[in-house]
């Protein structure tokens, strides 16, 4: 493949030698060509602009407006009522329980998921046929959608006929009425299990990319210095893996804070509202009896603001440490 430097000269010299408009004419055409290119650029970008405007920018403006209005599901827009929606949202009976649960769930899931993914990545990083098989096995769950994975585990967690229940009663644990989704703690950990199963492979992949970036020379140098396996891991691998870990952490935290599908399908926020997440609360306020789109919009904007703040904090914290 010709280097970038050579071709343009060849083209230009070719153009000069062809029978065509002279250099002056070419200079005159050039601005028009650039202009034409510029406007064509707009034409090509137009569909994107249309989508972004109609389906993103306008809804963002609309949700801001809704959060400041008395907007019922059936009754529609009934005029401004700021800041009632926000005080109602925060004063909701289930607001703080949902926030607390979402945060708790996020912390647990992130720690376990990244830990498991790191372990898997370290396990399969060498080139080997066996490792290829392992990698594929760990990645297969990520082909499923989150809803499909939740439905699958809903069946797995069946209280009497399901395989886990039968396994436990076969082993003699529990008194025959094991309930994976029936008590607050069980429901939380059962759901975490689903997420770990579904996402471990994906995060493993991201960490593998990071691991590839660590040159073997660094390991050699450390080993020559007499470091043992654990010291190498803590002092060499982890620091060099920071960017990947940071990316994984940010993705995991954001995803967990917005959890909906798995809780809707597995627990519907029960038992006793112990597994209601913020997004589930938004959905219930909008369509589940209270039917108040204004309060739901206010709550979802609060979520957006919280996310922005959390992400900014994460970025600065992790980038700071990187340097």
Partner 1 sequence: MKRWTVARGLRRAVGAVAAASLLIGLAACGGGADQQPGGEATVAANPEGIDDGTKLTLWTRAPLEAQAKALVQAYNASHKNQVELTITPNDDYVTRVGAAAGSGSLPDLFAADIVYVPNWTEQGLFADITSRIDTLPNVAEINQGHLAAGTYEGKKYVLPFVLDLSVIFYNKELYTEAGLDPDKGPTTLAEFKEHALAIQKLNKKGVYGTYFGGNCGGCGIFTWFPMIWASGEQPMNEDGTASNLNGAAAKQVYAMWRELNEAGAVAPASKEETGATWVGDFQQGKIGVMPYPATLLATADKSVEVGVTPIPGVNGGQSTFVGGDGIGISKDSKVSDQAWNFLSWLMSDAAQVEVLAKSNSQVSRNDLAENKYATDPRVKIINQVAAAPDSHTPVARNCQQAFNAPGSPWVTLFRNAIFGDGSSIDADNQAITEVLAQ
Partner 2 sequence: MSTMSRPLLATSSRRVLTGALALLFLFPLVWAAVASVAPQPGTAQVDGWGLGNYARLAGYQAGLTQYLINSVLISGMTVIFTLVVSLLGGYAFALFNFPGKNLLFLATLAILMVPYATLLIPLYVLLNSIGLQNSLVGLALVLTMFQLPFATFMMRISFEAVPRELAESAYVDGCGTFTALLRILVPAVKPGLITVGLFAFLAAWNDFIAPLILITDSDKVPLPLAVANIRGQVMGVVDYGATEAGVVILALPCVVLFLILQRHYVRGFMSGALKG
Secondary structure (3-state) at 70: strand
244-273 residues near partner 1, rule: CB under 8 A: 268-273
Integer Cα distance of 124 and 107 in angstroms: 26
Report the nearest approach of partner 1 to the CB of residue 260 (Å): 13
Q: Which does 288 bind (CB under 5 to 8 A by kind): partner 1, partner 2, none?
A: partner 1
Tokens of 111: 């720690």
Q: Which among partner 1, partner 2, none contacts residue 269 (Cβ within 5 to 8 A by kind)?
A: partner 1
Return the range that interacts with partner 1 (CB under 8 A); candidates 44-52, 112-120, 215-223, 299-307: 44-52
x/- site string to partner 1, residues 51 to 90, per CB under 8 A? Answer: --xx--xx--xx--x-----x-xxxxxx------------
Chain residues 158-217 in contact with partner 1, contact rule CB under 8 A: 175-177, 179, 182-183
Token pair listed for 285? 């306020």
Residue 50 as a binder of partner 1 (CB under 8 A): the answer is yes
Cα of 27 vs its chain's centroid, Å:
50
CA distance 86 to 150: 32
Q: 93 or 229: whose CB is closer to partner 1?
A: 93
In the DSSP assignment, the letter for residue 143 is: G
Residue 284 binding: pick among partner 2, partner 1, none (C-beta 5-8 Å cut-off by kind): partner 1
Instruction: Return the beta strands (E) in the chain as ranges.
Output: 69-72, 76-80
Residue 256 CA to residue 304 CA, distance in Å, equals: 14
Q: Which is nearer to partner 2, 181 or 188 (CB)?
A: 181
For 246-259, letters b (16+ CB in 10 Å) and e give bbbbbbbbebbbeb
């Amino acid at each position: 493949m010709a280097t970038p430097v050579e071709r343009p000269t060849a083209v230009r010299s070719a153009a000069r030698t062809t029978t065509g408009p002279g250099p002056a004419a070419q200079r005159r055409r050039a601005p028009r060509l650039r202009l034409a290119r510029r406007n064509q650029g707009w034409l090509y970008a137009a569909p994107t602009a249309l989508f972004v405007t109609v389906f993103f920018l306008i809804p963002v403006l609309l949700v801001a407006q809704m959060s400041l209005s008395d907007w019922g599901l059936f009754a529609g827009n009934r005029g401004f009522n700021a800041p009632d929606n926000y005080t109602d949202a925060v004063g909701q009976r289930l607001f703080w329980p949902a926030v607390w649960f979402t945060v708790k769930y996020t912390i647990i899931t992130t720690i376990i998921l990244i830990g498991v993914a790191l372990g898997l990545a370290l396990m399969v990083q060498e080139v080997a046929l066996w490792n290829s098989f392992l990698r594929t096995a760990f990645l297969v769950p990520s082909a499923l959608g989150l809803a499909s994975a939740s439905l699958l585990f809903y069946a797995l967690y069946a209280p009497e006929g399901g395989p886990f229940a039968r396994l436990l009663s076969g082993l003699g644990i529990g008194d025959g009425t094991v309930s994976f989704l029936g008590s607050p703690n069980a429901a939380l950990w059962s759901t975490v299990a689903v997420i770990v199963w579904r996402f471990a492979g994906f995060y493993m992949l991201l960490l593998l990319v990071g691991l590839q970036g660590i040159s073997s020379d660094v390991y050699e140098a450390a080993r020559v210095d007499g470091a043992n396996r654990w010291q190498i891991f803590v002092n060499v691998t982890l620091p060099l893996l920071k960017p990947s870990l940071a990316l994984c952490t940010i993705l995991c935290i954001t995803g967990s804070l917005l959890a909906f599908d798995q809780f809707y399908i597995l627990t519907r926020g029960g038992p006793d509202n112990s597994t209601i997440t913020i997004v589930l609360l938004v959905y219930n306020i909008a369509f589940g009896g209270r039917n108040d789109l204004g309060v739901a919009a206010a709550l979802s904007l609060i979520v957006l603001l919280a996310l922005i703040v959390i992400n900014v904090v994460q970025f600065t914290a992790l980038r700071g440490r990187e340097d």
